Structure 1
């Protein structure tokens, strides 16, 4: 795995947690194997069984979609099956060599293989508890003695149930982390959708009422004209004209009210929206430092920049810097290929009207939107 610092910064929090969980399991298994091989005191057969079991368990972790976050694939399926076969083979080899070992060594090998199988294979099986019970009985019978069979079974049951249970709890935690991240992103998208629905509702209420009246009066004027009541038809058409003009004014007022945004309100809205998306916004500088004539333009920059962060990144931190000569908005979690966003093109056009310029850069997973009020 080629995990560079830059790639690590670009990973989402759920992906980082999943990677941390998988590596923790693998490092734990490898550490136990090293300790067990050292305790084997040069017994090559025991060391070989332990190493094969450890490798099989690590391969299982690398092939599990729950731990990798990848979609299930045929190669992962074959890797899972192959690792399970290696675990069973190691267990059978231990049984075949059992006669040449003392009881303590035999129990250690049996316990180690069953422990690795429990945490890497049995815990992910559909019928995990029956499989665990059969494995415990078989291990107690093959690696123990008839004198302590019951005690051996009880001890193996406690160990196996703990390992399977803790593995299932870990998978449950991963699902919760994924669900929380999905809910956080959905909430952020809902904030944007709610604003669009509000505008659509207001536009429907204002324009729809006027157009309905225009349609009714136009139909009435048409009927009056056919009936020969030219004066009444003309009067109705005059009212239609007045209604159309009034509806246009109402629509313009509605759009003007939607477009009239203020910088303090947009900064507060950006903080709330990014917070809902799990991204902390830090504001540097003072809003008062921005020239009053550029407040509306700066507000549009904050709105469009915030929307891009929510839509196109997995940011956890963002910084908004405000000053007299310009402003910047940067965020982490930027994808490798930012692409070209139509919203930024619209911002560039809006800035050109006030003599401003827009520049963007992406470095090591950090995307920066930089605005200067005067063309250099």
Structure 2
């Protein structure tokens, strides 16, 4: 059972929506089959109805629009085979309805033929070109084939046409909804990737602005010192090299400051960044408590917990809600809809090492519905 629940939680929201939509369609087909089976009165009609129902269910499962994983391998021969099977069932039923003399046989033929037409409206017609013309032709043909009189044939055709319009229309609307969900899912991933790229560009820009000028000055003064040395002005050459040394030390200090500012992250800033990043992937961050309750000696490691925990949520879950709790004795970060267990996440190992260095501990709890990071420390 846990294997199935893990598989379900590992699916993205879009994949879950696709799967539930496909199962809804297949469930509707099975419902129609069950109703028609209750109306079957002869031994030959029940197996025919069951075969037609199974064929239609498989045809829906093979449609690319309802694939659980977009672009996955599907059996392309299934929809044409379903169309041929349902058409043959409809044609045989129409022939029996016209040629049979027993009333019970005629009634069963009408049930089987009507079911074939309905199943075609569910599993075949919505996914072909010129679907509306095909629907109109099938409705008129069904009315003429199974109507007992011109008036009843017209009424039967109208009923099938109205039913088909509703079914095909709902299917088209559902397919449109699936494509919108896919686009939103892709947009969330792209937005998260753009935020990471933007942060990298910011750091590269800061690095260039801070140390680029110093390195340029070092290069120029080094060339000048070489020229002075070759011309015999050793005193000025030595003075220029002293300035090069000072510039190098100054540039190294500026680089350390820049890297320290990038790595020694701020807790409040990380909370704000986590809220922005999680919002970009459709997850709401709820903050309980205040960063002021965290002791100063734990601020940096708490910020790393927020950063690593947020990264885990983005990469290893389809979370819709995450809760960050901050307190004087520790903190926690939990989210719903995790993808599987903890696995071998190097980020968590590194985080545990950071916490151990300041005397704090990390506890990880993973269930099918929730993933929890709990950190405990003692304020002194």
TM-score (norm: length of structure 2): 0.85
* Aligned residue number for residue 23 of structure 2: 23
Task: Quote the Cα distance in structure 2 between the aligned partners of 1:242 and 1:117.
Answer: 83
SS of the aligned residue for 2:217 comes to: helix
1:261 counterpart = 2:265: yes
SS of the aligned residue for 1:254 comes to: helix
1:56 counterpart = 2:55: yes
Task: Quote the Cα distance in structure 2 between the aligned partners of 1:334 and 1:196.
Answer: 27
- Conservation of the 8 A alpha-carbon contact between 1:271 and 1:280: yes
Deviation of the 1:218 alpha carbon: 1.8
Most deviating of 281-290 and 301-310: 281-290
Task: Quote the Cα distance in structure 1 between the aligned partners of 2:188 and 2:111.
Answer: 47
Task: Quote the Cα distance in structure 2 between the aligned partners of 1:287 and 1:205.
Answer: 32
* Aligned residue number for residue 275 of structure 1: 279
1:192-236 Cα deviation digits (max 9, x unpaired)? 332222112111221222212222222232233233333333333
1:298-356 Cα deviation digits (max 9, x unpaired)? 11111111112112222222222323332222222222253323332332232222112
1:124 pairs with one of 124, 127, 144: 127
* Aligned residue number for residue 208 of structure 2: 204
- Conservation of the 8 A alpha-carbon contact between 1:360 and 1:370: yes
Distance 1:219 1:312, change over 3 A: farther
Task: Quote the Cα distance in structure 2 between the aligned partners of 1:254 and 1:47.
Answer: 77
* Aligned residue number for residue 178 of structure 2: 174
Once the two structures are superposed, the pairs formed by residues 36-55 of structure 1 within 5 Å of their partners are 36-40=36-40, 42-55=41-54
Once the two structures are superposed, the pairs formed by residues 311-326 of structure 1 within 5 Å of their partners are 311-326=315-330
1:364 counterpart = 2:363: no
Task: Quote the Cα distance in structure 1 between the aligned partners of 2:321 and 2:202.
Answer: 29
2:116 pairs with one of 106, 113, 116: 113
- Conservation of the 8 A alpha-carbon contact between 1:115 and 1:163: no
Task: Quote the Cα distance in structure 2 between the aligned partners of 1:161 and 1:4.
Answer: 37
Task: Quote the Cα distance in structure 2 between the aligned partners of 1:10 and 1:365.
Answer: 11
TM-score (norm: length of structure 1): 0.85
2:193 pairs with one of 189, 195, 204: 189
* Aligned residue number for residue 332 of structure 2: 328
SS of the aligned residue for 1:314 comes to: coil
- Conservation of the 8 A alpha-carbon contact between 1:221 and 1:236: yes
Most deviating of 182-191 and 194-203: 182-191
Task: Quote the Cα distance in structure 2 between the aligned partners of 1:229 and 1:206.
Answer: 32
Most deviating of 263-272 and 306-315: 263-272
Most deviating of 205-214 and 155-164: 155-164
1:40-67 Cα deviation digits (max 9, x unpaired)? 4x24444444333322221112222321
Task: Quote the Cα distance in structure 2 between the aligned partners of 1:87 and 1:50.
Answer: 10
1:226 counterpart = 2:230: yes
Distance 1:223 1:38, change over 3 A: same
Task: Quote the Cα distance in structure 2 between the aligned partners of 1:372 and 1:125.
Answer: 60
SS of the aligned residue for 2:375 comes to: strand
Task: Quote the Cα distance in structure 1 between the aligned partners of 2:217 and 2:173.
Answer: 63
Most deviating of 331-340 and 293-302: 331-340
Task: Quote the Cα distance in structure 1 between the aligned partners of 2:181 and 2:139.
Answer: 33
Task: Quote the Cα distance in structure 2 between the aligned partners of 1:237 and 1:129.
Answer: 85
Task: Quote the Cα distance in structure 2 between the aligned partners of 1:286 and 1:337.
Answer: 29
Task: Quote the Cα distance in structure 2 between the aligned partners of 1:126 and 1:239.
Answer: 78
Most deviating of 237-246 and 194-203: 237-246
1:215 pairs with one of 219, 237, 246: 219
Gaps of 5+ in 1: none
SS of the aligned residue for 1:335 comes to: coil
RMSD across aligned positions (CA): 3.0
- Conservation of the 8 A alpha-carbon contact between 1:52 and 1:90: no
